[in-house]
């Protein structure tokens, strides 16, 4: 390729467009086109099959094996998006999406992300764009107040407190775990890194295990303490204490506890205050992971879920899960940011500046894993202002109400059981063992984990797995599963922005129809 | 607050808007508004002072101390953006921006980010949205081919090879370092984590130190090997070898080397091949950090800079730095992704699915720090297709040419020196010690680090610092500095998308004018 010559195509009439990658008129033309495309997508996303049904490798067969040498018009690319990408998307924006936890979107969140992308600033320290840092501190105090976090977590209430916007909970866990690790090692000596122990329950998100692996915690020192259905899968203070005592007896050093508020499988809510009572005697850093459910705590009636938060070291939730702030937006507050900074700061020559040296400003690079960061706060600022606190509360309540409706419908059908009482907007249900027994006219006994005692098939777990497959294959709704105490449980996580009550009722009818075909109507 | 009642405002005529956060018509209205706003911003960004001149705390005085209870119209928010946010932005998109390395933007990059944000999918594993994973694998192979990476780094060439899109180089370094750490520990025993040593030069980005801290490498085992101006600040194989030998002699265990291609201060290019020759004898994982300069390696005339890459374990560059892919977009390739996966994967119940179990698909969650990820590939796909390989090469060459123009202008003015020969599009220059000597009519001698031997002020470093302050205070251009071998050097990093030759010439005139006022014309 004689690449030193200009490509003939850029000498054509299209040349201005091609070599002016930020031409304002072309920016408008393509920008409008995408806005129209997305508006149309939102208007119709409810009609798409929620779960994609493509086969592995489908896209490779449809796209070229190398990048084009010359430019291609946006119109062709958009056609390809419609024809080849859309069929391979699982539609998280669909009103019929009930999987995992939702990916929460809104016009305000989208606009905030657009603005951040458009400004293209890199906000690693204050001087690199003061507005980015200052707006973030302000918005994190706003949101902290809405959650009624103690003042020790706010910039306005504590010299060392404050909040930061990260990407995901994984980052929040890793940053605080590294801070806790180094804080402990500074007392016991760095050579004891192999003795540090971290604690969570068996309901704690796998992100915690991942953070622990990355931070160099010995795999044998990762504790996932058993929880029980009878106590709604919450971590008990007694279990925590006995685990700690055993570790201490074995010469290990307790370091960090991740408590759940709204854990993934069943939205379990650990008793934050009583766990802190145990942790404090061992100098354990306590983090509250409220990734999904934290949002709800802006409603006074749910605030009790984080009672005791005044005793923890750090608290995080994902505004991209249930707070209308498009991916990604993890809100983390800490009481003592100097602990984070000690572990996460570096001070290279090229970033030194008078503002940072004056200690009058925050440099968010020292609160996170990466150096670079976008103008993160715009999105949250737009969401808080565009909707306002009262509407945000009502939006969340509307989802909780819909979950109650769904839970009520499940309870009315005796073939089903609600596996644990519904927390927030997550309903965990399954075809009950007794329904299978009824169907097995020979009266085969069913064990609590859903297996038939004499080995007869299908087991309750298999039956529920089949039901979930049928629901998802239909394309009319998408739910996912959890496995707790050996039971396969279907999760209906309500929270997609476009979901309304009629969608939820339709989803339930779908569940019933497929159950009819599985079990027969009786 | 009687929050259980609906806010009066959502019962008003505006109610549809407020409680329909994804209403297509309102989405269009606000979307167009933002596109217009940003088009206008790009048309005028050259007129703004590049560096913001607000004082610490400026924004807190202008914004309310808590979030609004009721909704506010987008028009008011946009007014606030103009009035309060824009003055606090350092305009990375300005054609007069020459700081750090640029933040590279384009219409295609912007559109890609919009689409990813709009779809709102979470692509942690294949099933969560097959198109997101498959497009990423395809695009990473396209780009790998453009860089002429050996086939061992491509999905199409090696079962265990392939590329992934992360956020930033910090993540690329941390992921590969953790993989290298665990690979070494699997041989020497996990209890030896305190003995692992990581290597880079004193020019290696601080991200490496940060990654090392996070991964639990003992701070004493972080090596920043000295480089010299006389060899353009490149890491020599001899220095590396002698450092390793000393460590081995002391019972330490070499683990990881980060080689630079285009280091931050002066764009130094380490000799990748010869460093690998040393590293291989000690089983050291070699990573090439080409964050800024990697983009240029798609041009055949720059490809030699990564000669030897066939011997490394991993290679990364940031497409958001100089490749028109808006923040954030770090491209990482590895020869053996199973090493990454071993360290970064967790396999919780709730993510188990048939596709993953078939081993026919990639789950990118196991290639990165976090679980959640956006539809990362759209942006790069849009950039590659909208501009095409030839135009991308010419775009990069245009910047290199402008840097040569600037370098030529510096060389013509005898008061200045080019500190190291210009690599790529970064020009490192300063007022030369001899110019200061000429001005000091008493003939005071100047040491190489810029200090005057008899202590007379100002030193060369101080003079250059003053010059940089004057340039940046003018608002007409923004450059940053590096400190190498004790010398304060001004960096002019050309690469902002809107920069054209006339901007560069104007910037040089600005430098001269302020030098005149500092030194007097002579």
pLDDT at A522 over 50: no
Helices B377-412 and B130-146, axial angle in degrees (round to 10): 30
| A395 to B67: CB separation less than 8 angstroms, yes or no | no
Q: What is the pLDDT of residue A453?
A: 55
What's the mean pLDDT in A145-165? 97
What pairs with residue B423 in β-bridges?
B426
* Alpha-carbon span A373 to B71, nearest angstrom: 28
Q: What is the pLDDT of residue B347?
A: 83
What's the mean pLDDT in A132-148? 98
Q: What is the pLDDT of residue A363?
A: 96
Q: What is the pLDDT of residue A350?
A: 83
Q: Which residues in chain B are closer than 8 Å to A468, comparing Cβ atoms?
A: none
Q: Could you tell me the two tokens for B146?
A: 């453009």
Q: Could you tell me the two tokens for B387?
A: 């501009």
What phi-psi label fits residue A308: left (phi over 0), alpha (psi between -120 and 50 degrees) or beta?
Answer: left
What's the mean pLDDT in A6-20? 45
Q: Where are the beta strands (DSSP E) in B244-306?
A: 253-260, 285-289
What pairs with residue A488 in β-bridges?
A483
Percent of chain A residues past pLDDT 70, beyond the cut? 92
Question: Do residues A117 and B110 make contact, with C-beta atoms less than 8 angstroms apart?
Answer: yes
Q: CA B367, B372, B373 angle in degrees (round to 5)?
A: 75
- Strands A314-318, A330-334: parallel, antiparallel or unpaired by DSSP? antiparallel
* Alpha-carbon span B7 to B68, nearest angstrom: 12
Whether this model's ipTM surpasses 0.90 comes out as yes
Centre a 10 Å sphere on the Cβ of residue A55 and count the other Cβ atoms it contains: 11
Task: Convert the pLDDT of each residue in A188-240 to its tens digit.
Answer: 999 999 999 999 999 999 999 999 999 999 999 999 999 999 999 999 999 99
Residues in chain B: 522
Q: What is the pLDDT of residue B283?
A: 97
Question: Do residues A494 and A504 make contact, with C-beta atoms less than 8 angstroms apart?
Answer: yes
| B181 to A122: CB separation less than 8 angstroms, yes or no | no
Buried b (16+ CB within 10 A) or exposed e, B155-178: beebeebbbbbbbbbbbbbbbbbb
Q: Which residues in chain A are closer than 8 Å to B35, comparing Cβ atoms?
A: 27-28, 31-32, 35
Mean pLDDT for back-to-back runs of 10 residues, chain B (522 residues): 35 48 97 98 98 97 97 98 98 98 97 98 96 98 98 96 98 98 98 98 97 98 98 98 98 98 98 98 98 98 98 98 97 97 90 88 96 97 98 97 98 97 98 81 53 63 96 98 97 98 98 93 52
Least Cα separation, residue B443 to chain A (angstroms): 31
Least Cα separation, residue A206 to chain B (angstroms): 6
By the 10 Å C-beta count (0-12 exposed, 13-18 middle, 19+ buried), B222 is classed as: middle
pTM of the predicted structure, to 2 decimals: 0.95
Least Cα separation, residue B66 to chain A (angstroms): 5
| B24 to A18: CB separation less than 8 angstroms, yes or no | no
Number of alpha carbons in the 13 Å side-chain half-sphere of residue A445: 4
Size of interface A-B (CB pairs under 8 A): 514
Q: What is the pLDDT of residue A436?
A: 81
* Alpha-carbon span A88 to A75, nearest angstrom: 20
pLDDT at A475 over 50: yes
Closest-approach residue (CA) in chain A for B468:
A353
Closest-approach residue (CA) in chain A for B95:
A22
Q: What is the pLDDT of residue A352?
A: 87
Q: B369: closest CA among A207, A179, A122?
A: A207
Least Cα separation, residue B187 to chain A (angstroms): 15
Q: Which residues in chain B are closer than 8 Å to A103, comparing Cβ atoms?
A: 120-122
| CA dist A303 → A293, A307, A308, B2 (Å) | 10, 7, 11, 14
Q: What is the pLDDT of residue A1?
A: 33
Which of B32, B121, B299 is nearest residue A35 as measured by Cβ atoms? Answer: B32
- Strands B253-260, B285-289: parallel, antiparallel or unpaired by DSSP? parallel
Q: How confident is the model at residue A351 (pLDDT cuts 50, 70, 90)?
A: confident
Q: What is the pLDDT of residue B350?
A: 83
Which of A10, A22, A369 is nearest residue B170 as measured by Cβ atoms? Answer: A369
Higher pLDDT, B347 or A338: A338
Residue B384 host element (H or E): helix B377-412
| B21 to A105: CB separation less than 8 angstroms, yes or no | yes
Q: A264: closest CA among A506, A481, A473?
A: A481
Q: Which residues in chain A are closer than 8 Å to B396, comparing Cβ atoms?
A: none
pLDDT at A186 over 70: yes
Residue A431 host element (H or E): strand A426-431
| CA dist A435 → A266, A464, B11, B180, B271 (Å) | 22, 11, 45, 52, 70
* Alpha-carbon span A157 to B506, nearest angstrom: 47
Q: Could you tell me the two tokens for A294?
A: 């934290």
Segment among A85-94, A490-499, B6-15, B302-311 with least mean pLDDT? B6-15
Least Cα separation, residue A509 to chain B (angstroms): 24
Q: Which residues in chain A are closer than 8 Å to B355, comparing Cβ atoms?
A: 56
Residue A466 host element (H or E): helix A460-474
Substitution target in B17, B134, B365 with the highest count of A β-carbons within 10 Å is B134
pLDDT at A8 over 70: no
Identify the top-confidence range among A17-26, A448-457, B92-101. B92-101
Q: B113: closest CA among B331, B338, B322, B374?
A: B374
């Amino acid at each position: 390729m004689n690449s030193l010559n200009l490509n003939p195509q850029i000498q054509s009439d299209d040349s201005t467009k091609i070599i002016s990658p930020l031409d304002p008129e072309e920016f408008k033309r393509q920008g409008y086109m995408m806005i129209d495309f997305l508006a149309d997508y939102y208007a119709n996303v409810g009609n798409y099959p929620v779960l994609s049904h493509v086969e592995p490798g489908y896209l490779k067969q449809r796209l070229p094996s190398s990048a084009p040498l010359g430019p291609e018009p946006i119109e062709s690319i958009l056609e390809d998006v419609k024809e080849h990408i859309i069929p391979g998307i699982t539609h998280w924006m669909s009103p019929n999406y009930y999987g995992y936890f939702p990916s929460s979107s809104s016009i305000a969140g989208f606009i905030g992300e657009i603005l951040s992308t458009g400004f293209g600033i890199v906000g690693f320290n204050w001087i690199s764009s003061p507005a980015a840092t200052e707006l973030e501190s302000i918005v994190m105090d706003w949101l902290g107040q809405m959650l009624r976090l103690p003042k020790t977590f706010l910039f306005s209430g504590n010299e060392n407190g404050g909040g930061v916007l990260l990407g995901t909970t994984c980052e929040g866990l890793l940053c605080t775990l590294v801070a806790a690790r180094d804080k402990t090692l500074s007392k016991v000596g760095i050579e004891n890194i192999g003795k540090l122990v971290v604690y969570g329950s068996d309901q704690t998100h796998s992100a915690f295990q991942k953070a622990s692996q990355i931070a160099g915690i010995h795999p044998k020192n990762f504790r996932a303490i058993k929880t029980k259905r009878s106590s709604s899968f919450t971590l008990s203070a007694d279990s925590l204490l006995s685990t700690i005592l055993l570790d201490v007896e074995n010469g290990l050093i307790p370091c960090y506890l991740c408590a759940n508020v709204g854990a993934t499988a069943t939205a379990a809510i650990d008793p934050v205050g009583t766990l802190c009572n145990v942790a404090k005697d061992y100098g354990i850093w306590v983090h509250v992971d409220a990734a999904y459910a934290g949002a709800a705590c802006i409603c006074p009636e749910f605030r009790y879920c984080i009672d005791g938060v005044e005793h923890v070291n750090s608290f995080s939730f994902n505004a991209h899960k249930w707070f209308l702030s498009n991916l990604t937006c993890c809100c983390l507050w800490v009481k003592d940011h100097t602990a984070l900074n000690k572990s996460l700061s570096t001070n290279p020559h090229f970033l030194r500046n008078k503002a940072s040296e004056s200690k009058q400003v925050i440099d968010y690079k020292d609160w996170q894993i990466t150096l670079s960061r976008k103008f993160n706060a715009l999105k949250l600022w737009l969401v808080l202002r565009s909707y306002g606190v009262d509407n945000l509360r009502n939006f969340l309540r509307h989802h909780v109400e819909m979950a109650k409706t769904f839970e009520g419908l499940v309870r009315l059908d005796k073939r089903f059981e609600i596996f644990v009482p519904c927390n927030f907007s997550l309903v965990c249900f399954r075809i009950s063992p007794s329904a299978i027994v009824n169907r097995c006219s020979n009266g085969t006994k069913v064990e609590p984990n859903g297996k038939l005692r004499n080995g007869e098939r299908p087991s309750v777990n298999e039956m529920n797995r089949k039901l979930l497959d049928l629901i998802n294959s239909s394309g009319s709704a998408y739910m996912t599963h959890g496995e707790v105490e050996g039971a396969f449980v279907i999760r209906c996580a309500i929270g997609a922005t476009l979901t309304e009550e009629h969608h939820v009722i339709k989803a339930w009818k779908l569940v019933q129809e497929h159950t009819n075909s599985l079990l027969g109507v009786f």
